[in-house]
Structure 1
Amino acid sequence: MYEPNRSQPVARRSGRTPLPHRSRGEELDIQLAGHLSALLALTDELGLDEPAEEIARQVARLRGAPPVRHAGHTGADPAELHLRAHETAARALLVAASRADTAAAILAASRMDAHTAALTLTAAS
């Protein structure tokens, strides 16, 4: 049968207040900024300056500060970079749609289209 708890909750016993929790919207903003930051790194690696600036503006809007950018290049295969960028943009699009962030969703969709076109050109040659 049911027996009631005889002790206080752990948060009260420890004497500390519970950790602050973020709202679902805040969590989605953090995820979206992370995906866009990863996309920014790949876009910088590909040397696409104009799209990189657009992505950087969105990351700055979400984080409230400009993103840290790394200028080092790995020398990875461009086709592989385009594929990874396409997948990362798709993740960003999913989170942006969930967050109802139209600007980020449009940006992510346009980057997906651009990377798809680049992959098609790479495969054709």
Structure 2
Amino acid sequence: MYEPIRSKSVHSVADASGFPHRTREEELDIQLAGHLGALLAVTDELGLDAAADRIAEQVARLRGTPPVRHAGLTGGDPAALHRRALALAGRALVVAASRADTAAAILAAERMDAHNAALRDAQLAAAS
């Protein structure tokens, strides 16, 4: 009833040794460096130089090379930038915790606290 297959299936798995593979740790390093790099850009935008330097150290440690720093300022709304930084620090914290990177996790948690405090101060100033 059915004709036998005469050619190699297009769904067959190719030789896996020919493709580069990364370990879970390497993938998490890449992810964490990406989140911290984005946090660095927002932190530079906010003008928080000391915090930006600490973040840059962690990015350099993860990537093996110093990050490119944010050169141009957009003059964005500080509250929106703090919210963005808070979200990025939260993502970095999750990845740092899953890879058991204590230094990055502590830094991300400190940045979350700092941005929460800045947002709370902005709300108090707007209310009064």
Q: TM-score over 0.5 for the alignment?
A: yes
In structure 1, the partner of 2:102 is 102
- Taking structure 1 as the reference length, the TM-score comes to 0.89
- Taking structure 2 as the reference length, the TM-score comes to 0.87
In structure 2, the partner of 1:118 is 118
Alpha-carbon shift at residue 68 of structure 1 (Å): 0.5
In structure 2, the partner of 1:73 is 73
> Residue by residue, what CA displacement relative to the aligned partner does 1:63-97 show, whole Å, maximum 9, x if unpaired?
00000012201111000000000000000000000
Q: Aligned equivalents of 1:10 and 1:110: distance in 2?
A: 46
Q: Aligned equivalents of 1:100 and 1:11: distance in 2?
A: 34
In structure 1, the partner of 2:26 is 26
* Local SS of the residue matching 1:11: coil
In structure 2, the partner of 1:87 is 87
Instruction: Provide structure 1 residue ranges, at least 5 long, that are not aligned to the other structure.
Output: none
Q: Which amino acid aligns with 1:11?
A: A
Aligned residues: 120
Q: Aligned equivalents of 1:118 and 1:124: distance in 2?
A: 10
RMSD over equivalenced CA pairs, Å = 2.2
* Local SS of the residue matching 2:18: coil
Q: Which amino acid aligns with 2:76?
A: A
Alpha-carbon shift at residue 17 of structure 1 (Å): 5.4
In structure 2, the partner of 1:53 is 53
Identity %: 69
Following TM superposition, where does structure 1 have runs of at least 4 consecutive aligned residues deviating by more than 6 angstroms?
A: none
In structure 1, the partner of 2:8 is 7
